[in-house]
Amino acid sequence: MGWIAFYALVAVGLIVALAVWRKWIAPWKDARELADAIVEKRPPRKFLISGNPEARHVGLALETLLDRRGDLEKRARESESSAQTILGAMPDGLAVIDERRNVQLINPEFRRIFGLAEKVSGGTLLELVHNASADRLAVEAIRQQEPQRGSIEISRGGTESREMEVTAVPFGENSAETKGAVILFRDVTHFRKVEKMRRDFVANVSHELRTPLSIFRGYLETLLDDPHQPPGELLRILEVMERHSNRLNALVEDVLSLARLESPGMELTLSEVDLPELLHSIMRDWEKRFAAKQLKSHLNFPGNLPRPRADETRLQELIYNLLDNAVKYSKPGGTIFLRAEPAGDSVRISVTDQGSGISPNDLPRIFERFYRADKSRSGEQSGTGLGLSIVKHIAQLHGGTVEASSELGNGTTISVVLPVRVAAGSG
């Protein structure tokens, strides 16, 4: 009987222990495993904890916490992706530095500007850009807590130097722990070149206008001082004034034409051009001009010449300028050749003269505005210096290119290559 009581007591004890385990120990062990999985970022075995209402509540709370953490991580990833997208789309190089000028963040454009590999990160601003002026701007921006601006020149690997506009904007004025600056690098090389071209253009136009105007003024003063000039001298004066008046008119027309070609709203009136008919018509128009300088002309094109889609008025202007340039630099008795031929999906129009030719140093620059290969030529023979620049602009508006070849003493050939079909949106 005593043994029965003992076993009964042991059984009761085991039942109680099992109940305690299930209700108080096992649930908290499950809760601990759940918490460890969340901390270690492992998928939990289960969330539902049975046996203990408090443990069950803790399990549900941990599940909610995990869901919220997932949402926060997703938002963080989205924010980081958005930030990277914005930084990647920025046209300026950007670097974020701390108070000691250690670089904390850079964007892809910054890497491109300074030739940095993807694996390069960290270091000071000076170590990455190798420019003391940019580093000084950053120092002053942080020290004075005011934006600083300046310009620097950089050159990498023997390439042409580029001018960068640098802006340093400080942050963290009221927090010593987060002080630093955002440094922006903007490539302004193209804008500086355009600005220089504009200044040079104005200076050149002013110079070209000054010569005929000075001659007009001089002869007008002569006539005012002595109106009764001998008929022969009066005729000579009027002829000189007429010649320079024509030169002045040609300059104004070329400047206006170039301005129209360079305007953003310039549109072409496209149509299929019958090149043989156009070229014959142009050569007839130029017969008197050729004869006046005792020049012979020769027109050549094959029978299978394609019909390019082009602005016929602009195309005529292009060929006029090529012929005008050839006539000016041809010697009396020479021949001018006008040719047209297929060139793959394009057509090539060329004008060749038998003049003195152009030196190899001058040849790459003849399409620049106001550039003259022969500096000794002056007056009417030299032209306005804008003809070949107009040719280049008309060709580019049609999606074409210009070419030049020359040999000193053996003449020059200027060619324009135009696509038979112009890209959509050109007119």
Average of per-residue pLDDT across 204-218: 77
> Does residue 357 carry a pLDDT above 70?
yes
> Does residue 410 share a domain with residue 272?
yes
At 250 the pLDDT is 74
Domain extent at residue 414: 267-427
At 281 the pLDDT is 92
Domain count, the chain: 4
Nearest to 276 by CA among 257, 249, 304: 304
Cα 137 from chain centroid (whole Å): 27
Position 401 confidence tier, pLDDT thresholds 50, 70, 90: very high
> Does residue 339 share a domain with residue 223?
no
Query: Where residue 173 sits, what CATH number does that domain have?
Result: 3.30.450.20
Query: Where residue 321 sits, what CATH number does that domain have?
Result: 3.30.565.10
Q: Is the model more confident about 54 or about 221? A: 221
> Does residue 198 carry a pLDDT above 80?
no
> Does residue 81 share a domain with residue 126?
no
> Does residue 308 share a domain with residue 390?
yes
State the chain's mean pLDDT as an integer: 77
> Does residue 354 share a domain with residue 413?
yes
The 10s digit of each residue's pLDDT in 75-134 is 656 555 565 666 666 778 888 888 888 888 888 888 888 888 877 667 888 888 888 888
> Does residue 45 share a domain with residue 125?
no
> Does residue 364 share a domain with residue 343?
yes
> Does residue 63 share a domain with residue 10?
yes
> Does residue 17 carry a pLDDT above 90?
no
> Does residue 137 share a domain with residue 218?
no
- Asked which of 124, 155, 187 is the last residue of a domain, the reply is 187
Query: Where residue 199 sits, what CATH number does that domain have?
Result: 1.10.287.130
- Asked which of 209, 242, 266 is the last residue of a domain, the reply is 266
Write a three-state SS string for the chain: CHHHHHHHHHHHHHHHHHHHHHHHHHHHHHHHHHHHHHHCCCCCCCCCCCCCHHHHHHHHHHHHHHHHHHHHHHHHHHHHHHHHHHHHHCCCEEEEEECCCEEEEECHHHHHHHCCCCCCCCCEHHHHHCCHHHHHHHHHHHHHCCCEEEEEEECCCCCCCEEEEEEEEEECCCCHHHCEEEEEEEECHHHHHHHHHHHHHHHHHHHHHHHHHHHHHHHHHHHHHCCCCCHHHHHHHHHHHHHHHHHHHHHHHHHHHHHHHHCCCCCCCCEECCHHHHHHHHHHHCHHHHHHCCCEEEEECCCCCCCCEECHHHHHHHHHHHHHHHHHCCCCCCEEEEEEEEECCEEEEEEECCCCCCCCCCHHHCCCCCCCCCCCCCHHHHCCCCHHHHHHHHHHHCCCEEEEEECCCCCEEEEEEEECCCCCCCC
At 19 the pLDDT is 45
Percent of the chain whose predicted confidence (pLDDT) is above 70:
72
Answering whether pTM is above 0.95, one says no
Cα–Cα distance measured from residue 321 to residue 315, given in angstroms and rounded to the nearest whole number: 10
Contact 87, 107 (CB under 8 A): yes
> Does residue 277 carry a pLDDT above 90?
yes
> Does residue 281 share a domain with residue 173?
no
- Asked which of 85, 118, 133 is the last residue of a domain, the reply is 85
Average of per-residue pLDDT across 326-347: 90
Position 267 confidence tier, pLDDT thresholds 50, 70, 90: confident
> Does residue 285 share a domain with residue 144?
no
> Does residue 275 share a domain with residue 196?
no
Strands 93-98 and 180-187: antiparallel
> Does residue 70 carry a pLDDT above 70?
no
Nearest to 384 by CA among 401, 398, 372, 397: 372
Average of per-residue pLDDT across 348-355: 91
